[in-house]
């Protein structure tokens, strides 16, 4: 290994180290962008207040409310029906006012899921360190940023000092070779679900993953956001992709894109990539051409199979590991599934197209392809929750709202919504949902609810059919969008 050869992650890390405690100790990392939301911040602001501390850099801090907000048109105002949600939202408003933090509130045209609005407003930048009290902060890694989720104590620490202590993770390479076999039927969501299935929900623990290879280069910026988003589901501390022309173009001319942006782009082009002689602590290699549309059958994102497969037998899934077999058995019990059932024969009650994983404009365009001119199946309730109000407006300009509504979907305001059901959008016990979100944990979408993770086009096609179908066999047409 050459003396100075480094991975992209190491370069960003090293350039943000304020200091390190000894050779193997934790580093004090400087934070370029701190994003705050209403669920994980109240105790942090309270801690500042109790100790007479201020927010060190309000000019590097932004806040929005996304987890609790109602997505039903007309209900996005205070007081909210749920009093505890109401209190949390008001608390964020008051804290932002008191501490001088920029807030995109419930009525702001820029409101949205924090990981959707960051890039959309040009707050997310290549080479930056970005933190947020939310595990899906890894999404911003799609821009070549080092972005990771932190707990509330660290939120307070960053507010007070603009720094965070962290043990340096190890670099992990996830090489995705080849290209996705059937254009636009197999998506970035299928790639990342397949990766998690192969490397396991702790395959990336202690590491920062860099996604590389032809399939990643071919992906749009928004598709890269989908794969980086679910890095945490593979246990990785963060996930990132080296920035390229697509990245730079995406951020050009956004509200908060810096004035000297072109100068910064020139510098980034020279440095923000993994050196050819750099080495990774661990590597995985995936052939994109082998990936079929994926659907989860269990209660963690690694419990996923091809749509053409059957619900697995727990003993087979366990492969001799009793804990793994037990967890598969409990998962099937929770999910109400029998081994051997074809994935395409499981009837669905609900469809959710939304979340920081899959609710950007491209996701809605892809989903609309399976819906245009169709009606959702009898007995299915389906909703689209755009990732931000700006995504919603753009989609409406393209007429996508009409496509979904004509098919029988509900068309909502933006928020985290049924990804985790902190607002009124939840599953009832026993309800089964095809969801474009990121977690199929027990009770995630509502106590007793059953979640099947899938891509936007897979979820949309499932809404039309009342069960999953292999979208590679569908004749989808692009409308006049």
Partner 1 sequence: MEPFRTVRSVATPLDKINVDTDQIVPKQFLKLVQRSGFGRYLFYDWRYERGEGGSDGASVVPRPDFVLNDPRYKGSAILVTGENFGCGSSREHAVWALADYGFRAVIAPSFADIFYNNCFKNGVLPVTLERGEVRGMLKFGGDIEVDLEAGEVRMYSPGDPAAPPRVARFEIEPHRRTVLLEGLDEIAQTLKYEKEISEFEKRSGPTNGAIPPLSPDKPLGA
Determine, following the binding rule CB under 8 A, whether residue 424 of this chain makes contact with partner 1.
Answer: no
Sole binder of partner 1 in the list 59, 75, 285, 345 (CB under 8 A): 59
Contact 381, 407 (CB under 8 A): no
109/342 with CB nearer partner 1 = 109
Contact 354, 381 (CB under 8 A): no
The least CB distance from residue 71 to partner 1, in Å, is 16
Q: How far apart are CA 249 and CA 267, in angstroms?
A: 15
Residue 161 bridge partners (DSSP): none
DSSP string, 92-155: HHHHHHHHT-EEE-TT-TT-B-HHHHHHHTT-S-TT-EEEESSGGGGGGGGGT-EEEE--HHHH
Sole binder of partner 1 in the list 37, 224, 237, 392 (CB under 8 A): 237
Q: Which two tokens stand for residue 341?
A: 């059932």
**Helical segments of 4-113, H only:** 8-15, 42-50, 83-99
Q: How far is CA 255 from the centre of its chain?
A: 22
The least CB distance from residue 320 to partner 1, in Å, is 14
Sole binder of partner 1 in the list 2, 5, 18, 481 (CB under 8 A): 18
Contacting partner 1 within 443-462 (CB under 8 A): 443-444, 447
Which of 143, 139, 142, 137 is closest to 164 using CA atoms?
Answer: 137
Contacting partner 1 within 148-167 (CB under 8 A): 149-154, 156-157, 160-163, 165-167
22/373 with CB nearer partner 1 = 22
256/284 with CB nearer partner 1 = 256
89/367 with CB nearer partner 1 = 89
Contacting partner 1 within 166-195 (CB under 8 A): 166-167, 169
Q: Which two tokens stand for residue 185?
A: 């039927």
408/443 with CB nearer partner 1 = 443
Which of 473, 475, 477, 471 is closest to 293 using CA atoms?
Answer: 471
Sole binder of partner 1 in the list 72, 181, 201, 344 (CB under 8 A): 201
329/472 with CB nearer partner 1 = 329
The least CB distance from residue 173 to partner 1, in Å, is 18
* Cis preceding-peptide flag for 79 (omega within 30 of 0): yes
Contact region with partner 1 (CB under 8 A), list: 16-24, 187-195, 243-251, 339-347: 16-24
Contact region with partner 1 (CB under 8 A), list: 29-37, 180-188, 394-402, 473-481: 29-37
Q: Mask 251-270, x = binds partner 1 (CB under 8 A)? A: ----xx-xxx--xx--xx-x
Q: How far is CA 53 from the centre of its chain?
A: 32
Contact 256, 121 (CB under 8 A): yes
21/375 with CB nearer partner 1 = 21
Contact region with partner 1 (CB under 8 A), list: 215-223, 286-294, 371-379, 437-445: 437-445
366/425 with CB nearer partner 1 = 425
Contacts of residue 46, Cβ cutoff 8 Å, sequence gap at least 6: none
Sole binder of partner 1 in the list 2, 5, 73, 108 (CB under 8 A): 108
Contacting partner 1 within 323-362 (CB under 8 A): 323-324, 326-327, 330
The backbone torsions φ and ψ at residue 160, rounded to the nearest 5 degrees and listed phi first, read -80, -35
Contacting partner 1 within 368-387 (CB under 8 A): none
Q: Max CA-CA distance within the chain?
A: 64
Which run of H or E residues covers position 212? strand 207-212
Determine, following the binding rule CB under 8 A, whether residue 71 of this chain makes contact with partner 1.
Answer: no
177/282 with CB nearer partner 1 = 282
170/184 with CB nearer partner 1 = 170
Beta-sheet pairing, 350-353 with 410-411? unpaired
Q: Which two tokens stand for residue 163?
A: 């720094």
Contacting partner 1 within 33-52 (CB under 8 A): 33, 39-40, 42-43, 46-47, 51
Which strands form 146-149's sheet, in the order they lie side by side?
102-104, 61-64, 33-37, 129-132, 146-149
Determine, following the binding rule CB under 8 A, whether residue 397 of this chain makes contact with partner 1.
Answer: no
18/402 with CB nearer partner 1 = 18
Q: How far apart are CA 105 and CA 415, in angstroms?
A: 12
Determine, following the binding rule CB under 8 A, whether residue 439 of this chain makes contact with partner 1.
Answer: yes
Determine, following the binding rule CB under 8 A, whether residue 105 of this chain makes contact with partner 1.
Answer: yes
Contacting partner 1 within 402-421 (CB under 8 A): 420-421
Binding-residue total with partner 1 (CB under 8 A): 101
Sole residue written with tokens 């079929």: 292
Contacts of residue 161, Cβ cutoff 8 Å, sequence gap at least 6: 56
Contacting partner 1 within 215-234 (CB under 8 A): 232-233
The radius of gyration of the chain's CA atoms, rounded to the nearest angstrom, is 22
Q: Mask 268-307, x = binds partner 1 (CB under 8 A)? A: x-xxx---------------------------x-------
């Amino acid at each position: 290994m050459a003396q100075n050869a480094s991975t992209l992650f190491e370069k960003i890390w090293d350039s943000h180290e304020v200091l390190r405690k000894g050779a193997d100790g934790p580093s004090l990392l400087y934070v370029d962008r701190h994003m705050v939301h209403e669920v994980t911040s109240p105790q942090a602001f309270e801690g500042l207040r109790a100790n007479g501390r201020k927010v060190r850099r309000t000019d590097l801090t932004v806040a929005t409310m996304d987890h609790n907000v109602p997505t039903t048109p007309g209900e996005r105002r205070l007081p909210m029906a749920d009093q505890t949600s109401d209190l949390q939202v008001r608390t964020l408003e008051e804290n932002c006012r008191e501490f001088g933090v920029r807030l995109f509130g419930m009525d702001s045209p820029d409101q949205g899921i924090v990981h959707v609005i960051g890039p959309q407003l040009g707050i997310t930048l290549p080479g930056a360190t970005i933190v947020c009290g939310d595990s899906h902060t890894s999404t911003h890694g799609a821009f070549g940023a080092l972005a990771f989720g932190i707990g509330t104590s660290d939120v307070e620490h960053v507010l007070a000092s603009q720094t965070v202590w962290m043990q340096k993770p190890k670099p992990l390479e996830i090489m995705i070779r080849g290209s996705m076999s059937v254009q636009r039927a197999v998506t970035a969501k299928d790639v990342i679900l397949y990766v998690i299935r192969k490397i396991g929900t702790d395959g990336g623990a202690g590491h920062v993953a860099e996604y590389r290879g032809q399939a990643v280069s071919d992906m749009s910026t928004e598709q890269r956001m989908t794969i980086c988003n679910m890095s945490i589901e593979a246990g990785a501390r963060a996930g990132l992709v080296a920035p390229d022309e697509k990245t730079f173009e995406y951020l050009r001319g956004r509200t908060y894109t810096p004035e000297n942006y072109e100068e910064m782009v020139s510098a980034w082009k020279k440095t923000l990539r993994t050196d050819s002689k750099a080495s990774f602590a661990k590597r995985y290699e995936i052939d994109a051409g082998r990936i079929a549309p994926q659907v989860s059958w269990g209660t963690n994102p690694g419990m996923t199979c091809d749509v053409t497969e059957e619900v697995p037998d727990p003993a087979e899934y366990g492969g001799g590991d009793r804990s793994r077999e037990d967890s598969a058995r409990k998962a099937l019990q929770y999910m109400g599934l029998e081994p051997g059932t074809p994935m395409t024969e499981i009837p669905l009650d609900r469809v959710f197209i939304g979340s920081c994983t899959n609710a950007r404009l491209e996701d809605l365009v892809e989903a609309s392809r399976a819906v245009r001119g169709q009606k959702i199946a009898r007995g299915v309730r389906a909703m689209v929750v755009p990732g931000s109000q700006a995504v919603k407006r753009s989609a409406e300009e393209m007429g996508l709202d009409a496509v979904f509504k004509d098919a029988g979907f509900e068309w909502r305001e933006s928020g985290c919504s049924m990804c985790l059901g902190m607002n009124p959008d939840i599953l009832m016990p026993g309800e089964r949902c095809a969801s474009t979100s990121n977690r199929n944990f027990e009770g995630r979408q509502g106590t007793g609810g059953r979640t099947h993770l899938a891509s936007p086009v897979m979820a949309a096609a499932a809404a039309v059919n009342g069960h999953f179908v292999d979208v590679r066999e569908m004749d989808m047409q692009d409308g006049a969008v």
